[in-house]
């Protein structure tokens, strides 16, 4: 009982400002009785009191009923509550997997500035207009790789897509079949029974590569990039003049867009075909490729606790008051009751600005305001994600540390790495791999952190590693490092800038002087300086990270026999 009283509050407290309207109604009723309908001026007071006594009593009762009904209506609209009820979070199953051709032919410049750049720009337009549903990105050349799994975080996908380039692919060639198989695998992993696949490419050599992986529930539509005139493929090497790609016989490779063939391939894949357009008409048509069923929302594993609105219970006594005053003129109260019911029905506990903190924070996070969301979240796991995305890695570490699941350990490792605590990050990734040996992203991120540690150890003996630390010169205000998306364990990760860890206290000048002869202190300073130097050398653009991820996956497939390179395949 005491706990319920402690939790008691109003969901829509601004309605309480309407409470003065109730005594105002009572006062107006008293004034009406006092005036007695204008008879006071025509009839003597003694006679008027006798004639209107019964009528005044009737009016007084109706006034009291009206005041009581108004009070109950205002309290109901204010939404009294003291109990939380779990409510699942809904998510649309409108899935889209974008399969992007990153082969050498995409370097052709028959569309300015190149096919690759135009394809990335079109993909950015698609992601910018995708307001709901799940989206994934697969890139392919001679081998296929998942850039991001199905997620609603289109900002991360856009960041990673901007780094894709044919020169980063570990195997050159064009294998759309492998990419489409990965797309179908993503849908199976997400337990989604239907979804669209959009293939952005300039050529598909064999129609069966698409037809074998397409069904009416998973149609493959194609966005063609290039022109029928075509162009050669420039190959640029740093420090050398651009050269043109040549075939084995020495002839210059000239690639053209065969729109008719691609349209036939799309039809075989139960999808549509459009050539790249300047406006958004191409995407508008391709993203409306029909599916057997309408997209529905489904419950996710995460739930929000919603305050139960008890205002509905006040409608019962309100209705009794209305019925009690159901006499001549009392019907004027009925519209008020209908209005109350409509307002309560149209303003649930989580609607608009009356929503709970976790709901408001989730909306802020989806809108990209992670810093504000972190300050509003009450749910600790969501607060950790918001802190991570706002570069508050120290706070994210504290919140991720309480999650002992493989996902929690993986996110903890990412936060530790971003905070510069590399050895602890390796330990966290080891915990993930011990619990889930097949966790590819944990293995990949662990390898990156171990590489950073080896670079740090190699630079410890250099004199400039500690001189920058002591003088304070050349130290940036921000550091950069690999930042996989904490909301999904399948995310390849991207790079972004964030504030360095704040757990270290800056010693005063006197303390530095006192500790200058301490070898232990000097080594500690040099180690921290080496870590910061290494983090500064990691570029903001995630191209290198994705390239190493792709190389790691291809090597693993070669070792396991899942991939075989055929020498007869073309390399563009």
List the structure tokens of 151: 């997620």
pLDDT at 523 over 60: no
- Alpha-carbon distance of 224 to 181, in angstroms, equals 20
Cα Rg of the chain (Å, integer): 34
For residue 299, what are the CA distances in angstroms to 163, 353, 486? 33, 23, 21
Q: Say which CATH topology domain 91-297 has.
A: Rossmann fold (3.40.50)
Within the chain, how many helices (H) and strands (E) appear? 22, 16
Please give the mean pLDDT across all residues of the chain. Answer: 76
β-bridge mates for residue 151, sequence order: 135
- For 201-226, how does the pLDDT look when each residue is reduced to its tens digit (9 = 90+)? 999 999 999 999 999 999 999 999 99
Q: Is residue 327 very low, low, confident or very high in pLDDT (cuts 50, 70, 90)?
A: low
- Region 389-407: what's the mean pLDDT? 90
pLDDT of residue 113: 93
Q: Is residue 469 very low, low, confident or very high in pLDDT (cuts 50, 70, 90)?
A: very low
Q: Is residue 58 very low, low, confident or very high in pLDDT (cuts 50, 70, 90)?
A: low
For residue 369, what are the CA distances in angstroms to 376, 385, 460, 477? 11, 12, 39, 21
CA atoms within 13 A on the CB side of 393: 29
CA-wise closest residue to 152 among 360, 393, 367, 301: 367
Contact 540/480 with Cβ under 8 angstroms?
A: yes
- For 73-91, how does the pLDDT look when each residue is reduced to its tens digit (9 = 90+)? 888 888 888 877 665 555 5
Cα torsion angle, 36, 38, 39, 44, sign: positive
pTM: predicted TM-score of the whole model, two decimal places: 0.53
pLDDT at 455 over 70: yes
Q: Is residue 470 very low, low, confident or very high in pLDDT (cuts 50, 70, 90)?
A: very low
Exposed/middle/buried for residue 179 (C-beta within 10 Å: 0-12, 13-18, 19+): buried
Bridging pattern class, strands 273-275 and 220-224: parallel
- Counting residues of the chain whose pLDDT is more than 70, the rounded percentage is 67
pLDDT of residue 441: 79
Exposed/middle/buried for residue 557 (C-beta within 10 Å: 0-12, 13-18, 19+): middle
- For 405-447, how does the pLDDT look when each residue is reduced to its tens digit (9 = 90+)? 888 899 999 999 988 899 999 999 999 888 887 787 788 788 8
Q: Which residue has the tokens 């337009």?
A: 125
Domain positions in the chain are: 2-82+311-347, 91-297, 390-541
Task: Of 96-105, 231-240, 530-539, give the range with the top mean pLDDT.
Answer: 96-105
Contacts of 143 (CB under 8 A, 6+ apart): 169, 170, 171, 173, 175, 178, 550, 553, 554, 557, 563
- Alpha-carbon distance of 215 to 115, in angstroms, equals 28
Task: Of 160-164, 219-223, 297-301, give the range with the top mean pLDDT.
Answer: 219-223
- For 251-283, how does the pLDDT look when each residue is reduced to its tens digit (9 = 90+)? 999 999 999 999 999 999 999 999 999 888 999
pLDDT at 491 over 50: no
- Counting residues of the chain whose pLDDT is more than 90, the rounded percentage is 32
pLDDT at 176 over 80: yes
304 vs 393 pLDDT, higher one: 393
Bridging pattern class, strands 243-244 and 254-255: unpaired
- For 344-375, how does the pLDDT look when each residue is reduced to its tens digit (9 = 90+)? 544 444 444 456 787 788 878 877 788 888 98
Q: Is residue 524 very low, low, confident or very high in pLDDT (cuts 50, 70, 90)?
A: very low
- Alpha-carbon distance of 217 to 197, in angstroms, equals 10
């Amino acid at each position: 009982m005491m706990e319920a009283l402690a939790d008691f509050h109003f969901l829509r407290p601004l309605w309480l400002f309407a409470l003065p309207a109730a005594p105002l109604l009572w006062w107006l009723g008293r004034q009406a009785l006092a005036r007695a309908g204008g008879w006071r001026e025509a009839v003597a007071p003694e006679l008027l009191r006798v004639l209107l006594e019964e009528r005044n009593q009737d009016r007084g009762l109706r006034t009291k009923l009206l005041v009581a009904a108004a009070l109950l209506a205002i309290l109901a609209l204010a939404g009294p509550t003291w109990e939380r009820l779990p409510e699942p979070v809904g998510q649309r199953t409108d899935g889209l997997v974008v399969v992007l051709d990153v082969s050498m032919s995409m370097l052709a410049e028959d569309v300015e500035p190149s096919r690759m750049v135009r394809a990335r720009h079109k993909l950015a337009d698609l992601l910018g207009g995708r307001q709901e549903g799940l989206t994934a990105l697969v890139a392919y050349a001679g081998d296929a790789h998942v850039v991001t799994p199905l997620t609603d975080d289109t900002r991360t996908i856009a960041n990673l897509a901007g780094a894709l380039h044919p020169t980063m692919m570990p195997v050159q060639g064009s294998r759309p079949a492998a990419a489409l198989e990965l797309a179908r695998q993503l849908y199976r992993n997400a337990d989604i029974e239907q979804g669209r696949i959009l293939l952005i490419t300039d050529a598909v050599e064999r129609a069966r590569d698409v037809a074998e992986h397409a069904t009416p529930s998973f149609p493959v539509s194609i966005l063609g990039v290039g022109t029928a005139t075509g162009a050669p493929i420039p190959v640029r090497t740093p420090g050398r003049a651009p050269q043109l790609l040549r075939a084995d016989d020495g002839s210059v490779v000239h690639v053209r867009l065969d729109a008719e063939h691609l349209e036939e391939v799309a039809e075989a894949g139960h999808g549509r075909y459009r050539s790249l357009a300047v406006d958004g008409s191409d995407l508008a048509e391709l993203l409306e490729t029909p599916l057997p069923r309408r997209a529905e929302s489904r419950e996710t594993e995460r739930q929000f606790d919603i305050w139960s609105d008890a205002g509905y219970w006040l409608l019962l006594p309100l209705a009794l008051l209305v019925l009690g005053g159901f006499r001549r003129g009392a019907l004027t109260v009925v519209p008020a009751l209908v209005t109350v019911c409509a307002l309560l029905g149209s303003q649930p506990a989580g609607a608009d600005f009356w929503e709970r903190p976790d709901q408001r924070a989730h909306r802020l996070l989806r809108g990209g305001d992670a810093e504000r969301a972190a300050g509003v979240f009450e749910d600790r796991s969501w607060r950790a994600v918001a802190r991570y995305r706002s570069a508050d890695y120290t706070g994210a570490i504290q919140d991720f540390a309480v999650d002992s699941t493989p996902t929690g350990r993986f996110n903890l490792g990412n936060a530790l790495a971003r905070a510069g605590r590399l050895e602890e990050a390796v330990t966290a990734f080891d915990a993930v791999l011990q619990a889930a040996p097949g966790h590819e992203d944990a293995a990949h991120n662990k390898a990156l952190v171990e590489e950073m540690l080896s670079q740090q150890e190699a630079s410890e003996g250099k004199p400039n590693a500690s001189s920058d630390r002591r003088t304070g010169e050349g130290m940036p205000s921000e550091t950069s490092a690999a930042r996989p998306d904490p909301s999904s364990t399948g995310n390849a990760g991207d790079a972004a800038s964030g504030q360095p860890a704040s757990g270290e206290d800056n010693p005063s000048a006197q303390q530095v002087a006192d500790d200058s002869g301490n070898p232990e202190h000097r080594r500690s300073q040099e180690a921290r300086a080496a870590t910061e130097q290494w983090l500064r050398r990691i570029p903001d653009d995630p191209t290198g990270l994705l390239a190493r991820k792709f190389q790691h996956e291809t090597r693993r497939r070669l070792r396991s026999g899942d991939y075989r390179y055929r020498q007869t395949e073309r390399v563009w």
